[in-house]
Chains A and B, each alone.
Chain A
Amino acid sequence: MKRYNKNLNILKQNHIYSESMEHDACGVGLIASTEGKKTRRVVEYGIQALKAVWHRGAIDADGKTGDGAGIHIEIPTSFFKEKIENYGRQYDSGEICVGMIFLPRNDYNSQEKCKTLIETELLKNNYNIYRWRQVPINTSVLGPKAELTRPEIVQVIFKSNDKSLNSKFLERKLYETRRKIEKRVSNNQINGFYICSLSSKSIIYKGMFLAETLSDFYVDLQDERFVSRYAIFHQRFSTNTAPSWDLAQPFRAIAHNGEINTLKGNINWMKIHEQEMFSSIFEDIENIKPVIPSGNSDSASLDNVFELLNISGKSAPLAKLMLIPDAWSKKSKILPRDHQQLFNFLNSTMEPWDGPAAIAATDNEWAIVATDRNGLRPLRYTVTKDNLLFAGSETGMINLNEEKIVSKGRLGPGDILGVRIEKGKVYTNKQIKNYLAKEYKNFNNQIIDLDKKFLIKDEKNIFEGVKLRQKQHCFGYSLEDLELILQPMVEDAKEATGSMGDDTPLAVLSDKYRPLHHFFRQNFSQVTNPPIDSLRENKVMSLKTRFGNLGNILDFDNLTEKNIYVLESPILSNSQFENLLSFFGDNYKVINCTFTKEDNLESSLNKIRKEAEIAARQGITQLVLSDKYVSEKNVAIPMILCVGAINTYLTNLELRGYVSMNIQTGEALDTHSFATLIGVGATTVNPYLALDSIYQRFIKKLFGNYSFEECVKRYIKSVNFGLLKIMSKMGISVISSYRGGCNFETVGLSRTVVNEFFYGVISKISGIGLTGIEKKIRNIHKEAFQKSSNILPIGGIYKYRKNGETHQNEGKLIHLLQSAVTNNSYDLYKKYSKENYELPPINLRDLIDFKKRTPIDIQNVEPVEDILKRFGSGSMSHGALSKEAHETLAIGMNRIKGASCSGEGGEDKNRFKLMSNGDSSNSRVKQIASARFGVTINYLNNCNEIEIKIAQGAKPGEGGQLPGFKVTKEIAKLRHSTPGVSLISPPPHHDIYSIEDLAQLIYDLKQINPNARIGVKLVASSGVGTIAAGVAKAKADVILISGHSGGTGATPQTSVKYVGIPWEMGLTEANQVLTLNNLRHSVTLRTDGGIKTGRDIVIAAMMGAEEFGVATTALVAMGCIMVRQCHSNTCPVGVCTQDEELRKKFTGTPEKVVNLFNFIAEEVREILAKLGFNNLNQIIGRTDFLKQVSKGSSNLDDLDLNPLFVQADPGENKRYCENSFINEVPDTIDQKIWPEIKELIENNQEIRKEYKIENTNRAVGTRISHHLYNKYGDNHLEENSIQLYFKGSAGQSFGAFGVKGLKLNLKGDANDYVGKGLSGGTIVIKLRDESNLTSNENTIIGNTVLYGATSGSLYAAGQAGERFAVRNSGAKAVIEGCDSNGCEYMTGGNVVILGEVGDNFAAGMTGGMAFVYDLSNKFEKKVNPESVVWQRLETEYWKSFLKDLISIHVRETNSSFAKKILENYENEITNFFQVCPKEMLDKLDNPITLKKNLGIAS
């Protein structure tokens, strides 16, 4: 522990680790009485439920320290009354107030000091203290880490002397008192102090124990007098590892399962709201500021705001709607009008705290559970006859008598379910929203939509000719920008696509002019929260931009009477911008964002800040920051700097809330430049120079027949799409929460600049400051206005140009390498390696060198063969690569016993067999990515490693699309789809929205293939260390950290450039944090992204990697010449194309691959010998052998690479993975069942045994499938030949990857991921015999069912949750209703839904067929028309097809509802819609219509 703390401090001081990087996710729930009576049962069930979600938590390496668990219940009066009287004090019938307090344990002085401060504050505020109570605890259940960090846990029991205070006011006062105490303690610099709760109503017991030991630790809870009307419980799984008792949940208002993606923005905006906050209910509003104390976790911060809203009089449901609102702006079809108005109003008060969330909350009046706008966290509920409501992350957490159950349901996106505690009445989502709408919708009138006023019309350009060119030049535009970036944004109304990775220097290393936004890298989500699909799930996203807000969030009774203006998008055309200014009349102030050449940057920034301040103080509401005054005399200040400067300055002065910042800039051209401006605080952006550049092209007639207005519209449309995409990468759906959130990190910008202008942006290695920036802008300005040439610079950022930016893959080196591998010439390779090193600095490692040491004889260095085993060739799919290239690479890698990876595209099963010459083209590593293409049981069992691709270096946070023309017959077969039909890879894995979900997938994979290492591919970013720690805790065996420079087959150009950071930064951080947490030695660390030479490998090893991926260079060895047209299917050398003619041009051979890796390994040996080492293990993680060197220009000296060299002390452990075995996960009941049934199978006996199943039994059927596969192969068992029976609530992933021949029959219900990756098996889920439920009205299975299923069938008598049959590519299913995003991305199979579907049905569905029973005529409002058509069934073929499926359903599940449909089929058939993908219409064997002309609604 001492070592731990020491390590932690080192990492913190070096900007590597901070608590703000931690993420968590959890199991959460609520149990409430529905009759308003306090009962013991509620508390007991709460404790019991926690025991049933242990698998959602994480356990430290010590086996006992949990990430935290706790319970929030009402104060048991009789219990505390006794404690008061026992103490000899008189209880006088008033409300008992209890404070549950953590004190610093080992510091008695501080303890006393804290107690004194509390007492002083209580007495000062007219309370009377009964006593202090030492809370009895049982420390034997704690793990060593938890025990070492355990606080002293005490209660202060007291009362208020003011009898006139009603309970609401008392709670308010207690809140203010608590905040005062917290402040005083913090002013006294005492650490380790925390108030869990201080209330007259409720109390919170929590800590760092395993969830199931809650009541063992807190023996109080075993006391029968602990009764309550509600219990909120929580179990945490954290990526972090610094155990901290106060971060355990529940908090005072909520228990939160999820992740807040917009946290930075929310915290920044909360500071701004504080400026306008006042309330008579507090003694002094300053006491409660800051609302969010610094260093809080995201959940804790949300709790702070939630609690404040409650305290200020907003009920829990209203607070929920303000903070975690529904998606509404694009759902006018399905949402009631008054709800929309309510949301519109609330949207003008607060920025959403956006991200996946399931919360349980209470304000002492209401107890609620609720979900986020996307429904990204599961919440299931059960109501019983004996007056209880159970709601939680899983169904089956508590064993209930089935007969007593009245209903079983789930919460859909944005839903709330609430109980009025007093009476116990349950309110549905609709009731709650109706009620609130009545109260608040009228405010809606004050919100004025400006879009109708400011149409894009009569557009005019501003500059032309030489003036235009000079401006373009001085804002850094190149011909490449105009041709490659701007043109498609208008022509195609979307961003340009590119391919391969970024091999240009980081902006800070470049000697060319790079605009300031090039220094910013976009944040993205991985593992701990999902990115969003901004195309297919567009409805949940919004760019709605508002000017100003409705003011004081604490007091809705006295809101501003001024109007609030909103726009649909923050991007304004020239005419819109003009109109906006004239609309605001005199109420705007233009700030000239240029400075004269004689002036300087720093003083000019000060000047514009002052100007902004004066304007704000004068009551001006609209600031206009403009750089259009740039001229020969006036130099433009980088606009992002101006925005950042004014935004932070006004925020600090508490003025920011009163003004909007409208930006008129020449700097904005590509989507990234807009995102950076808005991300650091801009309200609107008018890109006048980009628009002028469009005009310049428009008059050249480069946009076909579009009018200029249309061109402008198309451009703005593409920017809007781009913004949504950038936000969606980090899981943010609404721009108001993105704005000013500084959701970036910089590589190479000075920490001072970042702190001063971009608070919240991470800058780990510092870099150039204002002086450097000023030099750069002066240079480009001079160039722009002096140069006699009449042409813009050529560019060369995206594609190499001789006079443009440096690229690492330059012509000569490509040829050198190819000659080297072709002629097996190590000398040529060495020349290549040397010239590579002599390039101008491109990567951080180019500024790093080895410290000199005494060499040894190379004979004493481990042989090439040992080193080769550590190499991999990246993970490129067959589909991106041609068959020839993919197989050649695999054969080459197998020859050296290295790792080739299938990539995300399945693999031909013929490759699993050895070839006749002894070669093998079987990829040793099989990838499982978001689309699950070809992920069958066969695929998963023919590898010794499975790589879960969370993100990829070239485009983290994004999905992909394989256009139809690339889906050849061959590709379609591998991916289980139809030739010629496009395939979509979703941005997230739909079974990984948080860290505990990843743990679940790892668990599932370890069940289906117990012999494979499970790897997780992450992309380098700051914070990847804590994510890696979480992944290691989730029992992964390999963690791959990919650098930003990794390649891709196709992605928007700006994604390649501005997302992710170098692996040098990510790898070192991951290594450091894993070591800090005693996890490093149990997981293999691999890195890739632009690794080219032995030198790169040795540096990577010293930075902590033990395995290495070399992908692009391997392609070059096989003949790739960086044409960068992978996305066009025209690769002239046949590497990256599916065109048969072009594939013939492929010249790669396995020998070339082998030669390359031999060369690299040999070079590694040489370096090791030179440095005096015998093997790679000796240097892994030894950054002390590295040093920063000066290479080239002086601005590079500002870089501080020391954070990369920091080492955490591993103690006794090794600095590399010692495991020769695979990290184990707990058994499932399969391990018990298999021996039994194996015997029966062998004796040819029928299996007729029923097993009890609980929600903690996960992935049931999966290990059995593995065994069956081993025994019979994937396609030899007859269907349903092995039948297993279960009773109860199945845990997650029921029947995952189930093999053909296996049939699972479940009576009861099941959780999420039923039939994930189903591989031919059959799953039947029906109600228990004793159940009184009606199947079609209740929920029987959870979210994300049949995800990536390739074949098999599912019959479930009840409703499903979100994303039913997502990415199904072959399974059949019948269910009786589902929530939103059903059949999303489906590419095959048949789905029958005998009931209502949720919103956004069939989004991105490009294959398969769905049938929906639509009695209520809602279907057409809910279907996403983008890729499907729908109609009533027309042909006999399909009518009988449907009937057959329903008949099987009836037979299997006994559903009386389905039976009724069947009985009246001829009439009922007219209630069905048949849903068919547009692309499939001409490819069906049996057409859906006989009409020639498809006049179908779409």
Chain B
Amino acid sequence: MPEKMLKFVDIDQQNPSKRDKIERKADFNEIYDEFINERAKEQSSRCSQCGVPFCQIHCPLSNNIPDWLKLTAEGRLQEAYQLSQSTNNMPEVCGRICPQDRLCEGNCVIEQSGHGTITIGSIEKYITETAWENGWVKPIDVTNEIDKSIGIIGAGPAGLACAEQLRKEGYQVTIYDRYDRSGGLLIYGIPNFKLEKFVVERRTKLLKDSGVNFVLNFEVGKDSTLKELKNKHDAILIATGVYKAREVELPGSSLDNIFPAMEFLTASNKKGLGDKVEMFDNGTLNSEGKNVVIIGGGDTAMDCVRTSVRQKAKSVKCLYRRDKENMPGSAREVANAEEEGVEFIWLSNPKEFKGSKKIESLIVNKMKLGEPDDSGRRKPIIKENSEFKIEADIVIKALGFDPEELPKLFGEEKLQVTKWGTIKTDFDTMETNIAGIFAAGDIIRGASLVVWAIKDGRDAAESIKKYLALKEKQNQKVA
């Protein structure tokens, strides 16, 4: 029989079609179409089945990408799904929002040698969506319940992944979250056009059906101290994420209509979910008809600019202090934003916010790039006498997030944190300085990718299992 794979020699790369920019600007729906079956097969068959799969090496979850590509190419989607989900708790999410161009696809051997990458993300999404459609995704059928309970603080990707891993083994899991919905950033941070909310809610429901308890609108430190929670459970995972927006301390930064990105995005997402949001409904957080300026160059900034576009802003500008090559966000997202009419002002940094009560305009410095700094990226330096002015009705600060002060917030001063405010954990076990309390996700590594959060959640589950097993053994010895 002829070789089914290695077809990159004959077949060109093709992504699922992207909806037309005019059409997609008009709604908040996802911009990529689904692959049809044949196309997914064909595109999977381009994989070179490398001896050293750089795609996998650069995947935080070490997904067995060549293997499920092969299964897909052979039409064995159910097996592809099983394999894919064995290393990833939400492949359909990663398939949608991972910056593949920096991870798997960017390192694809076929891409590196100039043949155009295998469209890994789209295929990953396709596989899992097919699994959902066909009912292959089933709640966990726990046959051996274990009488040990774990409390997880935070229903974001890290918490959900950890919960699922533990539940599979039969542990009792309760997830606490201060929001009214589960999903963390997935639900309120990431806009619909990248990740439609049914995708997240489907996962939440699956976990609920699998026997995971959700306690929402529950704020640790307010509704219960960490210590109290610890007494209720055999182990605790802190997976709160980082929510404190980084500030720009400039003249005029206390003017009205200067918002942190999360506030802006949450409002938009809540609206999308059909909630009443006062600040939006009264027009404050709605960009419609306004000149919007977003400061920052990360993925959050991209989410904001593209949300503004969809809210029918009059103009959308993005200020970033480095140039396009040096921006942290996914190049694909920048391209999408550019297509949708966002104006990027590279090498620019606000100097001053101007306005009487509300923001009216910004004074901006032009920048140039100096020597690389500690991060390896070239340091931006202010260009002398380069100031210019931009009109603005709304300014959104998307400069990144810092951790909240958890020891204080949780009423547990003993909990150790790093100088950056993230929780200090043992590198191998992810355990904090308090025995039985673990931490995972952004709260230990600072704002990062969803895929890393999932990875942390899974690792934490392993550690917690080991911890509980060891404790059990010790108890038996004592008894």
Contact = CB atoms under 8 A, between A and B. Distances in A.
Interface in B97-151: 109-110, 112-115
B9 A1139 contact: yes
B85 to A, nearest CB: 9
B469 to A, nearest CB: 12
Contacts of A1124: 50-52
28 contacts: A479-B64, A479-B67, A700-B76, A788-B168, A790-B82, A790-B86, A794-B67, A799-B51, A800-B51, A801-B53, A801-B64, A809-B51, A811-B58, A812-B57, A814-B52, A1121-B109, A1121-B112, A1121-B113, A1123-B51, A1123-B109, A1130-B9, A1132-B8, A1132-B110, A1132-B115, A1133-B113, A1134-B113, A1142-B9, A1145-B113
B57 A811 contact: yes
Interface in B39-80: 48-54, 56-58, 62, 64, 66-67, 70, 74, 76, 79
Interface string A1072-1097: 00000000000000000000000000
Nearest to A1142: B9
A1357 B22 CA distance: 88
Contacts of B66: 799
B48 A1132 contact: yes
A843 interface: no
A189 interface: no
A810 interface: yes
Contact of B83 (A479, A809, A1123, A1130): A479
A790 B87 CA distance: 12
Q: Which of A500, A794, A812 has the most CB of B within 10 A?
A: A794
Given A491-B1, A790-B82, A500 B57 contact: no
A799 B66 CA distance: 11
A800 B83 contact: no
Interface string B357-377: 000000000000000000000
B52 A1122 contact: yes
Interface residues of B, number: 34
Contacts of A799: 49-53, 66
A543 B50 CA distance: 36
A1141 interface: yes
B323 interface: no
A552 B36 CA distance: 72
Interface of B: 1, 3, 6, 8-9, 48-54, 56-58, 62, 64, 66-67, 70, 74, 76, 79, 82-83, 86, 109-110, 112-115, 168-169
Contacts of A1125: 6, 48-51
Contacts of A500: 51
B52 A810 contact: yes
Contacts of B115: 1132, 1145
A887 to B, nearest CB: 20
Nearest to A791: B86
A723 to B, nearest CB: 23
A1245 interface: no
B9 A1123 contact: no
Contacts of A1121: 50, 52, 54, 109, 112-113
A803 B59 CA distance: 12
B315 to A, nearest CB: 43
Contacts of B56: 801-802
A1466 interface: no
Interface string A784-814: 0000111100100001111100010111101
A137 to B, nearest CB: 64
A788 B169 contact: yes
Contact of B113 (A483, A794, A811, A1132): A1132
Given A788-B168, A790-B86, A811-B52, 18 more contacts: A500-B51, A700-B76, A702-B76, A789-B86, A790-B82, A799-B51, A800-B51, A800-B52, A809-B51, A810-B57, A1121-B52, A1123-B48, A1123-B52, A1124-B52, A1130-B6, A1132-B109, A1145-B113, A1145-B115
Interface in A1115-1129: 1121-1125, 1128
A801 B67 CA distance: 10
Contacts of A810: 52, 57
A1246 interface: no
A492 interface: yes
A704 interface: yes
A492 B115 CA distance: 29
Contacts of A1132: 8, 48, 109-110, 113, 115
Contacts of B168: 788
A1145 B114 contact: yes
B1 A702 contact: no
Interface string A766-793: 0000000000000000000000111100
A1044 B53 CA distance: 24
A38 to B, nearest CB: 70
A811 B56 CA distance: 10
Pairs of residues from A and B, 10 with the lowest C-beta to C-beta distance, nearest first: A1124-B51, A802-B62, A811-B57, A1132-B113, A1122-B51, A1122-B52, A1123-B50, A791-B86, A1130-B6, A800-B52
Contacts of B58: 811
A492 B1 CA distance: 7
A94 to B, nearest CB: 77
A704 B113 contact: no
A644 B14 CA distance: 56
Interface in A493-552: 500
Nearest to B6: A1130
B433 to A, nearest CB: 30
Contacts of A1145: 113-115
A467 B338 CA distance: 55
A1198 B233 CA distance: 45
A802 B74 CA distance: 23
Contacts of A1141: 9
A1142 B168 CA distance: 47
Contacts of B64: 479, 794, 801
A1483 to B, nearest CB: 23
Contacts of B9: 1130, 1139, 1141-1142
A1052 B67 CA distance: 20
Contacts of B67: 479, 483, 794, 801
A803 B35 CA distance: 29
Contacts of B109: 1121, 1123, 1132-1133
Q: Which of A789, A811, A1142 has the most CB of B within 10 A?
A: A811
Nearest to A480: B67
Nearest to A1129: B9
Given A483-B70, A1130-B9, A1142-B9, A809 B52 contact: yes
A492 B54 CA distance: 29
Contacts of A1142: 9
Contacts of B6: 1125, 1128, 1130
A1050 to B, nearest CB: 13
Contacts of B54: 811, 1121
A791 B83 contact: yes
A127 B50 CA distance: 78
Contacts of B110: 1132
A802 B86 contact: no
Nearest to B168: A788
Contacts of A788: 168-169
A809 B112 CA distance: 18
A1359 B451 CA distance: 75
A791 B57 contact: no
Contacts of B83: 479, 791, 794
A402 B16 CA distance: 86
A503 to B, nearest CB: 9
A1139 B115 CA distance: 14
A1133 B1 CA distance: 26
A491 B3 CA distance: 11
Contacts of B57: 802, 810-812
Contacts of B53: 799-801
B44 to A, nearest CB: 14
Contacts of A812: 57
